Structure 1
């Protein structure tokens, strides 16, 4: 397979794909500063307005494995361009929306663009020289955290100084720019599975199962964990996903190759993705609340939304800065070791919060420590996945791994929500606030889950750096599939 050998060209490819990943990730935290105002803006109640956030999660989770498989069948560049269109259309629709339904549709379209990150990671295998592959994958993997961290302060600043509609118009312009950069600077990538067929039944089954599961997890706290709706959705998810697995094992061209996914390396890497996703997201739910609660509580820090976003933004830059360090560690000791170290660093960050949560500087340090560990861990997962699957399955396998991270973040939101709701006090006026003990419990849960991730990393088969380099050389010399 031909690789773009000139350093400038490969560097430009990595830069474009990384920026595309950051823009796609921005969509996740884009509307967080608007949460309190959405019922007024859309003339609806708070429960209905929460769908503006939930729909992006659901659509992104369903679309990611689908776009990944289509990337294998049709080429990654083609699907990257495809993902840019709903980002533009969704942003424009949200900018023009004055009621709930158009906003939800627009946010759903933005969720379709989330497939850019795993697609970009998979494309690197075909477009970047092997000697730069590790660091490029690590940087691309970090874009989810970078985009999420930058989204809060940028969105808060825009909303405080201009109309909220300007936020979505800006996203539309960024999405158009990304589409043009991909079209002009990313070389065409071959279809790695040109003779395969798209598994429509598998896509529908996985979509229905994921919607049932993630809807129950994300809305269970609102509907009641013992409600018939929540329990019915959990039951439906189990039935549909079991039937989906049966189908995937028997169809010739599955959406997700479960036999490969059952291999020890892929299986434990995906398991680690779930728990690392949980531990990464727990602190991003707890720290903003601690920063914004009034000082009168005795533990809140009384920061504005914009100030909170600025205090948390360094975490995104730290994740970007440590990604090449993690890649070097993987080159020397293997990605399994980097994943293990990353999980321990996340646990250290949570542990340090027990002593640092009393100040904004302390919480910023906690965020930076956790981001360091997340950067290490996220950067290794695609490398572990791609070294265990053939090129024809790269897009599908990476997308499924990204889906596992999303499941982890959804479960984190549910668990942290339950803990903070149960450990709260009446603040008057019908409002309740989490107690300091509730926040500490949530942070300790994050620490424990990160330690579980470290144990899972130890169960991944050991791979020597030499073996990985041999596989990379095989990738480089493999003939292109047309």
Structure 2
């Protein structure tokens, strides 16, 4: 039991392991960038885990599964920041990557022992269905991230931006004609799903903006308005986010039971503007930052229910 179900995870595991190895070796900045790219493939394991859980779980447990897996991912990601910050403080940055490689080595063993055999027939992988949207998204994100330096009307911005939009458009048209696309756009834009997907997109962007600002503020020197703290301290600021994310899932269940599940997403989404407001009004000490990250954690754990 588990070998067939875990087989789809092996490519992602191998890329993540190679990424950790390249990051841990003294290969310079280029090695870190390539390693980071390879480790990004591991994010795809989460939807695979959700799909495997849906196949294995009894029908009465299906409504709770996405929330359980999402909160687990949120909690351990939040605890991973202070853990790696501590390791980086004690053993250096490369020591933290070696620790990540060790954890990655444990993952396939657990997958083989726990994942059930897949009940679905093997399917051919449509590589264009994955490569084209990835290339389009990369080109568009590159253009947006460098627009302030290149200029919004400059050729270096316009060319990758239009290329990215063109690739995404080609992918969307092609995906609509596939019998089993990687992303079912018709399902994604149907009534009910479209609003949830747009909220997830905006909230996800807000989370990354908030975390990035928090880390920069904590690490920045005091002359520029920062707290001039260590990487360990910056990692510890993510602990309230993880803890409140777990608690937010519990609160969301009570809200759903009392007022209905349709109230959970709007109320959870309000947490992020609240966190950014706290962060914008008062960010002169660690307590204020911890409160803002805790509020954001409530928002992350609530809608995942």
Asked whether the two chains share a fold, i.e. TM above 0.5, the reply is yes
Partner of 1:385: none
* 1:336 corresponds to which of 248, 259, 262: 262
Residue 334 to residue 125, structure 1, CA distance change in 2 (3 Å):
farther
Residue 365 to residue 239, structure 1, CA distance change in 2 (3 Å):
same
Supply the distance in 1 between the matched residues of 2:281 and 2:263 (Cα, whole angstroms). 28
Deviation at 1:306, TM superposition (A): 1.6
* 1:266 corresponds to which of 193, 196, 210: 193
Root mean square deviation of aligned Cα: 2.7
Contact 2:5–2:116 (Cα < 8 Å) also in 1 = no
Deviation at 1:153, TM superposition (A): 2.3
Q: TM-score, normalised by structure 1?
A: 0.57
Consecutive unaligned residues in structure 1, runs of 5 or more: 1-12, 14-73, 381-482
The reply to whether residue 370 of structure 1 matches residue 296 of structure 2 is yes
Residue 96 to residue 268, structure 1, CA distance change in 2 (3 Å):
same
Partner of 2:102: 173
Match of 2:117, SS state, is coil
Partner of 1:126: 55
Supply the distance in 1 between the matched residues of 2:279 and 2:97 (Cα, whole angstroms). 35
Supply the distance in 1 between the matched residues of 2:226 and 2:127 (Cα, whole angstroms). 50
Partner of 1:205: 132
Supply the distance in 1 between the matched residues of 2:54 and 2:251 (Cα, whole angstroms). 20
Supply the distance in 1 between the matched residues of 2:141 and 2:290 (Cα, whole angstroms). 30
Identify the range of structure 1 (285-294 vs 176-185) with the bigger mean alpha-carbon deviation.
285-294
The reply to whether residue 85 of structure 1 matches residue 11 of structure 2 is no
Residue 280 to residue 294, structure 1, CA distance change in 2 (3 Å):
same
Residue correspondences, number: 304
Q: TM-score, normalised by structure 2?
A: 0.87
Contact 1:345–1:373 (Cα < 8 Å) also in 2 = yes
Q: Within 5 Å, which residues of 2 pair with 1:272-311?
A: 272-297=199-224, 299-311=225-237
Consecutive unaligned residues in structure 2, runs of 5 or more: none
Contact 1:97–1:103 (Cα < 8 Å) also in 2 = no
* 2:245 corresponds to which of 310, 313, 319: 319
Contact 2:240–2:291 (Cα < 8 Å) also in 1 = no
Partner of 1:445: none
Match of 1:264, SS state, is coil
Residue 311 to residue 245, structure 1, CA distance change in 2 (3 Å):
closer
Residue 116 to residue 333, structure 1, CA distance change in 2 (3 Å):
farther
Residue 328 to residue 89, structure 1, CA distance change in 2 (3 Å):
farther
Deviation at 1:255, TM superposition (A): 2.6
* 1:236 corresponds to which of 154, 159, 163: 163
Match of 2:236, SS state, is helix
Deviation at 1:117, TM superposition (A): 1.5
Deviation at 1:328, TM superposition (A): 4.7
Contact 1:124–1:136 (Cα < 8 Å) also in 2 = yes
Supply the distance in 2 between the matched residues of 1:131 and 1:225 (Cα, whole angstroms). 52
Supply the distance in 2 between the matched residues of 1:144 and 1:226 (Cα, whole angstroms). 40
Residue 257 to residue 97, structure 1, CA distance change in 2 (3 Å):
same
Residue 293 to residue 106, structure 1, CA distance change in 2 (3 Å):
closer
Supply the distance in 1 between the matched residues of 2:33 and 2:118 (Cα, whole angstroms). 33
Residue 98 to residue 353, structure 1, CA distance change in 2 (3 Å):
closer
